[in-house]
Structure 1
Amino acid sequence: MTDRTTTAPADATGMSRRRFLGGVGASAAALSAGGVLGAATPASAAYYMKWGAVVSPGSATNNIDFARKVDLLRRMRPQTARISMFWGDPNRRQFSDGQLDALRGTGLTEMIIQSSEDPDPGLARRQLDLLLPYVDAHPDTLFVWEIGNEPDWHQPDNPWLARWNRLATIRDNKPAQDRGNLLWAINMPAGRWNGDGSGFTFGSSGRWFDAFVRDTGDGLGALLTGPYRPDVATVHCYSSSYLTRGADGGGERNPYKMIDYVRGWNPGISMKITEAGIDGAKSDRGYRYVNFGSSVANETSGQVDSVCFYGLPPAEREYGIWEAEASQIGTHP
């Protein structure tokens, strides 16, 4: 299968994936093509970053009016958002076209559409079919189809099955469902480890990640470098204090852990952070988010090009983004 992070086939609209993987500064496409990889880059280099939030549908006990969600997102001056489209029900969309239009009206140029938590190829195909008419109707918006969510939570002892479901989804579905304004993404593990209180049996997050991305000889190849690798790897970054490398004692609690894991396997694949957060209300938490979003692109030489903070409507109380915090995030460059 063609790696479209380095080639630019156009569809009927005359658009190409290179257009969307490019942007201000050095893109991941340029990195994978060798355009800047290994070149000396000044510390002050400014790489383009898209800012946004996770937009969840909420529940009967934890919900806010949709118009308020839109206002919260607008306060952040967003360019991207991660939409929890199949949260709670893998067979039903949680957001209508009209609601997506309202979110796009906040300034979005990118929409990351999340599949259900752990789909197989058939389920993922049915879910994306429900979105493709909207994708086709908005050729100037970049859509990112994010397959799965935190696979080590849903397959804690079977990274091999999680890997197969995701790569087989790309192998089986991408030829028929691909679009020029659609990128295919696989969400990386949450980063569980033995001793985190969950009963996780792998000794470290690195061991689970290694099994998840490694070629097992079944014809699908390695997850990040093989013939069915995604256009984008999406990662999550969490902390109790600061979203900086080594925070919270580093090691398994390092919020950069999954970024570093992915870069260790493929230093050129495009990356997006689809969840990032500090667990606990702090008066300056939004400004801490700005510091993170302003530095992570430079620290990865542009390999990370967007970040969505968790979350709206809000979700769990300790991560919820309210008006004051959304306005703090809105001070980003």
Structure 2
Amino acid sequence: MGGNLSSSTNDIISSSLISSQLIHRHTLSTCYDAIFDVSLSSTSNSILLSDDGRLRLFHIDVENNGQLIETTTSTNKVLTHEQIHDIAWSTLLERFLVLTSKRLTTYDHENNLVDLDLGLEKNSPPFWRMTCWSSHLIVNLGLGTSIRYHKLLSSASTAIPLIQTYTRSSLGYTNSDLLSLVSLSPQLILAINVELTNNRHVIDLFSIADENNFQRLKRIHTYEPCALDIIASLRDYTWLCKSHWPSDDCLCMIESDGEVKKLDLHEQNGYILNLRLLANRSHLVIIRTASKLPKEVDVNELNGIDQSEEEEQETKQGRRRQIVGKLPGNLLLEIYKVPNLVR
């Protein structure tokens, strides 16, 4: 993959994350929603999250022991008829992007949603997840039915040109493979979580430097300690990942050579659902459950989860997996102080 980190640098990163100290905890309203991102800006440290369907913007006061200051001006749900599927910070636009099943918007400084020109065509699968870096935007539709590569323009434009569309088969998958989470690094390496037909979970890495040809670089098999989901790029050929729900809680780092290293944070009471590092890596932001998860229940018992027609048909045919139901109690938003060795 060219330009890989040395093992000593990887050791510094992992040891610093392990040494992170919890400095602030905030209880969220929701008991199932863990969608958020942080601003990768040198001028502000912000978190935008979906809390029970309501967008909430927080400022992290790093000078005051990581205290959270909410700057959301409205207590109403911004989207009443759409489910928020993803939130991502755009380093080009210097704004948060909010993806629903039907559209892409930006979240402006006045807490308004501004639609971008990325509508769904008739009979298209719904938007599922996204990732972006600089002008590069990757959007996953229908759990991998198609992967779209767009280019973001200046903040004054709402247009988002489509560069290329990839199907599962064009990326080397079968139509039964499910592509879920995606993460893009500054080196334009795209990490994709894949659930193969045999229920095995892998992480595939692609180079997207060539706009017209995504090049598969590596497949990460994570048999031990459990299957992993990608959650964040560490921005230097490494990724943070967590155990696949509902396995035992496990936070790991995928190193530049593909090695998976387990990271044992001090706080292990709940289950990590999502995690981000601030721009200067001074703080770690985690959303977790307050306690371990209950046993698995049928997918139909889940609250707040939309299904496409394709997914509903898979459920009827028994194709869908059993997944965890209601989470135990409300979720926790936690801020950790990271030793300066990782920066």
- TM-score, normalised relative to structure 2: 0.33
Structure number with greater CO (CA < 8 Å, separation at least 6) is: 1
Which of the pair is proportionally richer in strand?
2
Which structure has greater helix proportion?
A: 1
TM-score (norm 1): 0.33
